[in-house]
Amino acid sequence: MTQRMQEPGRVQGLPITDHQGLQQALQEANLPSLLMVYVQLSGDEAMLDAFASHLQSIYTTEVSEVPEDLATDLRQRLFALLTAEEPINEPPLSTDFVRHMMSVSVGEAVDPELVPVLYDQMGFERPVPRKEQPGRPQPPADFRVLVIGGGMSGIAAGVKLGEAGYNYVIAEKNSELGGTWWENRYPGVGLDTPSHFYAYSFAQSPDWSHYHPKGPEIERYLLNVADQYGVRERVQFNTRVTALRWDEHASLWRVSLESQGEVSEESFQAVINGHGILNRWRMPDIPGLKDFQGVAMHTAGWDPEVDLKGKRVAIIGTGASGAQLAVAIAPEASQLTVFQRSRHWVMNNPEIHLGVTEGVKFALRHIPHYMEWFRFRVYWFTGDGLYGNVLRDPTWEDQSLSISAQNDGARQYALAYMQRKFADRPDLLEKMQPDYPIFGKRIVLDADGGWLDTLKQPNVSLETAGIERIVENGILTRDGRLIEVDVIALATGFELAPALGSMQVFGRGGVEAGAVWGRDEARSYLGIMVPGYPNFFMTQGPNSAPNHAAGVNMVIESQVNYIIEALDLLVARGAKALEPTEAAYREWNERVDSQMQNMVWLHPKASSYYLNSKGRNWVSCPFRLADYWSMVREPDPEALVLK
């Protein structure tokens, strides 16, 4: 890692001549992020120290506000600096100094080992594209890479493969890119990860309209990135990969592709499976579903032509999708009945519906380094800062409802919100309050005017009796009541198993991966590779999902970086095939299984889609984002077999 945040030199984009816009930005932008900008541009350590005692972690119970005169002084200094006619030459900053800045910004110590991760994810380092790096062996022109899927993983892989000079093709089953965000079009679909962290680190956007935007805006962002980096021209749309067969003699993957009813075969030196884990609907096993005479549709297969105005609607499921959908359609439905299958913790996030102001957008667009420092804070407080919520403290005495002090604090925060919202509806609190530790499964984010308020509306009811069966005109509950409905919305999630879906992958000796894994026993090395399947890579593979926090984008970027490092190693060694050793594979899985015993997801009261039929969590990564980033930063040649 470099010893400076960046090489000192003249700051681009200055002076800022829109003084009115800048003044508005300085008033509305995040104050700790503005402080970091000022210190980075000026090297003024005294100003940093002046703020240190006033900036606290958002997780602390202590209350300390920045004095108004100090805040005003910072804004005035920064205004003068950003509007000065004289060029600004940034001072060189050591990593120790930057770590001190980071620690002041978030009000808690930042470990030295985290600094390389933060440099990368904040976007301060802009590495030279691989194909332009001197001395790097260039991949042969006939070395072809297939990327399966054109969602967040596929687009990231396309961008980085292109920058590395690889000849790649993306096979996308749909008619457009975007993956989950192209497919999921139900009313209210949105992002529970903050937008300024969800974006790629190499393509951060200052233009988000909300801190948690809706689906169409996220899709537009991904399409813009694909167009900006020339990814679209490498995509074969309406093309599904049905089978992969490793040709040991030629060291090639023979790939069966289906498009418009026709099947063809192409050959590739390497394959990256980026089809994600949330791409197959889970249809509930409810008797009589096919007998229903009204409209029944899954949230992931929503038909926007269906008019819900004045209709009697049932939503089955109270997870994130069900909650978002209910808030969006309750105002137009004559009656909305929500069927709760399991209880979810609901946590108040005031930013969930909050728009990004024009002043903040100005800061993101025009104030040098503001976007990077703002992203840092978002990562810190919605990423690894939440890890303590899922890590069991063995000294915590009563672990029936919480597993650590931090987890208990989060539980009390969520419970207080639910109690406040349902102060006048104790019946709803009794129905919804979970009996397992918070974060045992995915939480639902809410805010005033959202999910819990919707459940209190006069035309909305919450059913917990359970569903006996579906009949022609409605839903029959287990206590014998018939609830007549016109539309049934199935917010029942996704089918994660088998991990490869219907796609068959035949490795060395013709061994099919599904036969090795079984339906829901998928394992891998680092969530990326599997012994016996050379040059076959995955993103979001087994035990790599960041289920303790936001950060799927960070995991994807880390995995894509590892994959291209592995391909570069293959090319540099003049080899044709690369796969992990059995020893490395076993060691990784033993490490995962050992750490998983310390995680909230295995709490006896927590049941979620993370667990397979044997109770093993095969989805979640039990390590911090920063730890996983470090683990997959580059391949360990000793853990690989190259031939």
User: Do the beta carbons of residue 54 and residue 60 sit within 8 Å?
Assistant: no
Determine the pLDDT at residue 3.
Answer: 38
Cα angle 463, 466, 467; round to 5 = 105
- CA dihedral for 526, 159, 125, 578, sign (positive or negative): positive
Determine the pLDDT at residue 4.
Answer: 44
Q: Which of 5-9, 132-136, 437-441 has the lowest mean pLDDT?
A: 5-9
Structure token pair of residue 263: 């099947």
Q: Which of 432-436, 557-561, 610-614 has the lowest mean pLDDT?
A: 610-614
Taking only the tens place, the pLDDT of each residue in 520-534 is: 889 999 999 999 999
User: Do the beta carbons of residue 121 and residue 200 sit within 8 Å?
Assistant: no
Whether pLDDT at 8 is above 90? no
For residues 118 and 5, what is the distance between their CA atoms, to the nearest angstrom?
11
CA 178 to chain CA centroid, Å, is 14
Taking only the tens place, the pLDDT of each residue in 357-378 is: 999 999 999 999 999 999 999 9
Q: How does residue 346 score in pLDDT terms, banded at 50, 70 and 90?
A: very high
Determine the pLDDT at residue 279.
Answer: 63
More confident residue, 87 or 440: 440
Structure token pair of residue 133: 């790096």
Residues forming beta bridges with residue 255, ordered by sequence position = 244, 266
User: Do the beta carbons of residue 329 and residue 299 sit within 8 Å?
Assistant: no
